[in-house]
Amino acid sequence: MIKWITKLFSSTQKEENTDNMKPEVHEHQKNNIKSVSKKYLIVGLGNIGAEYVNTRHNIGFKVLDFLAKKESLSFETVKLGALAEYKFKGRSFFLLKPNTYMNLSGKAVKYWMDKENIPLENILVITDDLNLSFGTIRIKPKGSDGGHNGLKNINLVLNTQQYTRFRFGISDQFKKGQQIDYVLGDWDEEEKAKLPERLEVASEIIKSFGTAGLENTMTTFNGK
């Protein structure tokens, strides 16, 4: 009986000692573990409708269409847009083309961000930019809307400007008073010839954003 009690006490003591040897996980460490996400929401801005397909303003849609075709992905009509899921190196990229029209893009972004539980830092918004020459790339972790109605609505709905945007230059080669016609106009022949190479680079940016991180992606691609 005494031997049994001694054995039990010894076993319990070993368990206690083993527990004491386990590394302590602080609350902030737990939060950091929970915050690591391998889901990314890639939003291409544009307008739905056949008349907008090849317009400069729809470069966001065009980038996602290019990547989807390259990777043999299909877009599915879902709530507030068209969605395709691209899996690459253990990450899930949700490619979203909002069907809300440009001025209400934020509604779709917020819905899918919440639905898939994607953190703000894992959102990349692709948009056209008049202030950059054709095909020039500018990736920034935050910023103002720059007069872009799509970004303006996203800022309003998310109540923040702290999300990554990928600006694709469409240049500003239009006469005074013709900005709307230019933005909603088709690419010219020279631009069409150069687009495939630019779209290839754009698709690599998306993959780099999720695998190499924002800082490395900016260093590699900004100004290219």
Write out the binding residues.
52, 101, 103, 149
**For residue 31, how far is the Cα from the chain centroid?**
22
Q: Which residues pair with 139 in a beta bridge?
A: 166
How many residues are recorded in the chain?
Answer: 224
28 carries an active-site annotation? no
Catalytic residue among 26, 28, 57, 148: 57
Token code pair at residue 220: 């590699």
Strand pairing report for 81-88 and 76-78: antiparallel
First CA to last CA across the chain, in angstroms?
80
Q: How many CB atoms lie within 10 A of CB 119?
A: 14
Q: Binding site residues for tRNA, as ranges? A: 52, 101, 103, 149
- 188 phi and psi, to 5 degrees? -80, 175
Q: Is-contact 183 47, C-beta < 8 A?
A: no
146: helix, strand or coil: coil
Taking alpha carbons only, the member of 184, 190, 220, 187 closest to residue 205 is 220
Taking alpha carbons only, the member of 75, 84, 125 closest to residue 105 is 125
* Residue matched to tokens 């990547």: 67
Q: Is-contact 187 62, C-beta < 8 A?
A: no
Which residues are annotated as catalytic? 57
